[in-house]
Each structure stands twice: as C-alpha cells, then as structure tokens.
Chain A
C-alpha cells in the first residue's frame, strides 16, 4: 500500500517538475533580444536580433536611449523599426552616438491587432568603457584630458636643459 502511494507521489512530482521546466522554456522563448556585441562600446554599431513569439505582429519597434550614469543624463530616445526575417525573427542595427554614454536602455514594442504591447521594458546594458573614453577620473566631468601632459613635457624639457648647462 505504502509503495503504491510512494509511486503515485513520485509520479506527481515528476509531472509537476516537467510542467515547471516546460513553463520556464516557454517563458524564456516568449520574446528575447540579442545585442551584438554583448557589451558594446560608445559610438560603435550594434546589431539587434529579436525573437518574438507573439502572434499577429504588424510592426516591431526597438526603443533605445543612451545614458551617462556619471552625470545622470539620458539622450533622446530612438525608435527603431525592426525588419522581419522570418516568422518570429526580427533584426536591425544601430550606431551608438554618444561618446560619454555609459549604458543603454531599451524597450521592445509590437503592434498587433489588439494594439501596442510592450514585450521587454527598460532593460539596461552597461557599455564597455575603454581607458580612452573614461576621462571622468571619478570626479565628475573633466573635459581637459591630456592638458597636464603638456606641463609635464615642458618640465622634463627644462630639467634636460638645466642638466646640459651644468655639464658644460
């Protein structure tokens, strides 16, 4: 009797587990966005590939804005129309414009017979900031990179001249 109950319990658990797994797979596949490269640099081109499983999609839009976390500034949002490649795949590309942007934020919107629907809302991606781009020095805006180098260069020149004079 106890063995039968155990078998039933295990069967229920397995079915429940399978249900949860399939639910997760479905949920993951509902709408996804792939940004290439995964961590783009400011002022670089990105490829956007969207998998949209919603039925009756008339238009798909990718809304993107570039922001600078150091100053708390966001630049004008761009609405990009996605081109349909097949039943559920859409694609577009975009050239990031702002040299000081530290992250991008995007939404994925579709227009169906029932109106507009937001499939992905306000997702953030940090940008890859190279040393050359990061001229903030952790101290807000410093728009004069390299200015000090002139002074250092002149200083070295002076020292060299002084030593030369003394040798003579």
Chain B
C-alpha cells in the first residue's frame, strides 16, 4: 500500500525532469565533427586549381555560397570583418561558389559590386569543380561555413549566417559568433 502512495510522487519528479530537459535540448544546426576534412580542389578565379591541403598550417574558413543567395551577401560582410581582424598568416578564407551554372565572370562581377560600395572582399574565391558541395553540404542550404584547424581537421560547421562577434539586435540570441570559435582554435 505504501509503495502505491509513492507512484504519484515518482510521476511528479519525472514531470519536473521532463520540463527541465525540454529547455536543454540542443536545437541548433551546428555540427562539430572532430575528424579530418577530406581534401578538396577548387578552381581559383585566376583559372588555377587549388587544394585545401595547400593551406595546412593556417586556420581555414570554407564559405559555400552563390551569387543569387541574398543571405550570402550578408555573410560576406561578416567575413570581411574576420579578414580585417586576423592576420592573413593565421587565417585563410576560401569562398566557393557552389552553383556550377555560375561562372568566374559572374563571381568577379559580384566582388566588383562590393568593391564599388567600398567593401573589399580580399580573400580567396573559387568555383566548385570537384563537388565540394556534395562532400560538405549539411542540409542543402547556403551560406554554409566550415572551419578547419591548422592540420585540416574540421572543427566547426554551420548552415546559415554566422556573425563575426556582435549579434545584431533582433537576431536570434543563439546566432553563431565566429570570433569565439576562431579564438578557441588560436589559443
């Protein structure tokens, strides 16, 4: 009989635990795969092929985008802040246009448009020729960012816009800040 009396209390405790857990479930789209990123090749805007492994010893930010993607334009502004803040010897940003229907001329025109507005996208741009997108896409959305450490290991991946350090007002509080991730890797 006494045992039966305990049952409702067990239910109450379970209820409290469930309520607490519901707020703790990680619902972001981030993936932190601690593994070696497969090497990939891309076509630079100069027409020469380059590889991820060419940048060993540097932290590499792989930014997958396309000219028609408006959030990718915002991502470029945030990457410009990263590029301006860190030493070029420490970090290399590689922005790869994943839409194989687009051309080097279209990418160049895109960069020039930013330049005309006083924003210099002074990092490596390239075209996906060897299906980087197939290897590295998360759920199929862009922008998608990956951060590789000096040894080429994937340390971070995220689908959607990430900001440099300050989350603009009105944005979700769980918006990813790149500075925090990069500083972790540098230290």
Contact = CB atoms under 8 A, between A and B. Distances in A.
Interface of A: 63, 65, 67-68, 70-77, 79, 105, 107, 122, 139-144, 147-148, 150-151, 154-155, 157-158, 161-162, 165
A157 B12 CA distance: 9
Given A151-B15, A165-B8, 11 more contacts: A67-B69, A74-B66, A74-B142, A76-B99, A76-B140, A139-B173, A140-B172, A141-B172, A147-B22, A151-B18, A162-B8
Interface in B37-87: 66, 68-72, 74-75
Interface of B: 5, 7-8, 11-12, 14-15, 18-19, 22, 25, 27-29, 66, 68-72, 74-75, 99, 101, 140-143, 159-161, 172-175
A58 to B, nearest CB: 18
19 contacts: A65-B69, A71-B141, A73-B142, A73-B159, A74-B69, A74-B72, A75-B141, A75-B142, A77-B68, A79-B101, A140-B28, A141-B174, A147-B25, A151-B15, A154-B18, A155-B12, A158-B11, A158-B15, A161-B11
Which of A72, A105, A157, A161 has the most chain B CB atoms closer than 10 A to its own CB? Answer: A72
B172 A139 contact: yes
Per DSSP, are chain A's interface residues mostly helix, strand or loop, or mixed? mixed
Contacts of A65: 68-69
Nearest to B69: A74
